[in-house]
Amino acid sequence: MPNDFLSFFLSWMSAPRRVGAIAPSGAALADLITREITATTGPVLELGPGTGAFTYKLIKRGVRQQDLTLIEYGSDFMKLLQMRFPGARVLWMDAGRITTERLYDGAPVGAVVSGLPLLNMSTRKVVSIIGGAFRYVRPGGAFYQFTYGMSCPVPRPVLDRLGLRAKLMDRALLNVPPAAVYKLTRRPQMKIVTGSPQASTPVTPELMHPERGYIAAP
Ligand SMILES: C[S@@+](CC[C@H](N)C(=O)[O-])C[C@H]1O[C@@H](n2cnc3c(N)ncnc32)[C@H](O)[C@@H]1O
């Protein structure tokens, strides 16, 4: 891993809210956020890769560059990523637009790894990014997000609205500053049978009316 501290710091000076950190993530955090990803995960979507701290680790874990899509909004970082990972698809775009761009045919993605500073974004944008990313995630796939905050950076109403659950994987106390990684997955669907078999509809438990058993508007 090259030492990117200075270039990262200069980027942060010019756009502190977008960059969201004064230094690239360290090895402990890169290890943790990629811990469950292997050569068999398939396509991986990385949001806000910066200088590639997580990207290097993903490749080390066996993800092929051809299976990597990197979405980065900073033009300086984007050029660096193109140079460092010539086999990956590097897109210079706002991750908030993944809902409108068609990044994949269908939903082949096994994992989304995000270094985006979600706490600096509006709720609306967080919904577009996470909801948009899950459109490409295959059943059983997950979205990994780190935060410097004390709790999950995706608020509970957003998780409810998107039918997701979040689990704290662990904390990387050796990172500067210490960080935590959350794993977001789809809530299990269950079938509600109301009368005839045709009326059976898969819903997430959170969308059920507690007494009447129908689906509340999300
Ligand atoms: C906290 S840094 C993390 C960088 C890298 N993943 C790491 O851990 O070292 C956040 C990154 O997200 C990028 N970013 C912020 N907002 C973005 C957006 N809307 N779309 C795409 N990238 C964004 C920043 O340019 C920066 O590279």
CATH number at residue 53: 3.40.50.150
**Do 103 and 82 form a contact (C-beta atoms < 8 A)?**
no
Residue 30 has pLDDT above 90, yes or no: yes
Give 181's pLDDT tier (boundaries 50, 70, 90). very high
Of all residues in the chain, the percent with pLDDT exceeding 70 is 87
Q: Whose CA is nearest to atom 3 of ligand 1?
A: 115
Output the CA 76–ligand 1 centroid distance in Å: 12
Q: How far apart are the first and last CA of the chain?
A: 44
Q: Which domain holds residue 94?
A: 4-187
Spatial separation of the C-alpha atoms in residues 134 and 114, rounded to whole Å: 12
Output the CA 42–ligand 1 centroid distance in Å: 22
Claim to verify: residue 215 and residue 202 sit in the same structural domain: yes
* Burial of 9: CB neighbours in 10 Å, binned 0-12, 13-18, 19+: middle
**Mutation test residue for ligand 1: of 13, 14, 18, the one with most atoms within 8 Å of CB:** 18
Number of domains in the chain: 2
**Mutation test residue for ligand 1: of 10, 73, 93, 175, the one with most atoms within 8 Å of CB:** 73
Other C-beta atoms closer than 10 Å to the C-beta of 32 total 22
pLDDT at 209: 38
Residue 135 has pLDDT above 60, yes or no: yes
Spatial separation of the C-alpha atoms in residues 16 and 160, rounded to whole Å: 30
6-27, pLDDT tens digit by residue?
Answer: 999 999 999 999 999 999 999 9
Per the listing, tokens 């045919």 go with: 105
Pick from 66, 113, 117: which is nearest to 90 by CA? 66
Claim to verify: residue 183 and residue 199 sit in the same structural domain: no
Claim to verify: residue 113 and residue 165 sit in the same structural domain: yes
Claim to verify: residue 95 and residue 168 sit in the same structural domain: yes
Claim to verify: residue 140 and residue 88 sit in the same structural domain: yes
Spatial separation of the C-alpha atoms in residues 12 and 119, rounded to whole Å: 16
Claim to verify: residue 141 and residue 197 sit in the same structural domain: no
Angle between helices 75-84 and 5-14 (to 10 degrees): 150
Find out whether the beta carbon of 19 lies less than 6 Å from any atom of ligand 1. yes
Cα 41 versus chain centre, distance: 15
For residue 110, the surrounding DSSP H or E stretch is strand 109-114
Claim to verify: residue 41 and residue 88 sit in the same structural domain: yes
Output the CA 148–ligand 1 centroid distance in Å: 14
Claim to verify: residue 165 and residue 176 sit in the same structural domain: yes
Find out whether the beta carbon of 52 lies less than 6 Å from any atom of ligand 1. no
Claim to verify: residue 211 and residue 139 sit in the same structural domain: no
Model's pTM, two decimal places?
Answer: 0.89
Pick from 171, 70, 172: which is nearest to 114 by CA? 70
Q: Which two tokens stand for residue 184?
A: 């977001």
Cα 89 versus chain centre, distance: 17
Residue 211 has pLDDT above 60, yes or no: no
Residue 216 has pLDDT above 80, yes or no: no
Claim to verify: residue 80 and residue 104 sit in the same structural domain: yes
**Do 151 and 180 form a contact (C-beta atoms < 8 A)?**
no
Spatial separation of the C-alpha atoms in residues 33 and 165, rounded to whole Å: 17
Claim to verify: residue 213 and residue 156 sit in the same structural domain: no
Claim to verify: residue 122 and residue 202 sit in the same structural domain: no
Pick from 112, 154, 110, 155: which is nearest to 132 by CA? 112
Rounded to the nearest 5 degrees, what angle is found at the Cα of 128, between the Cα atoms of 126 and 132?
A: 120
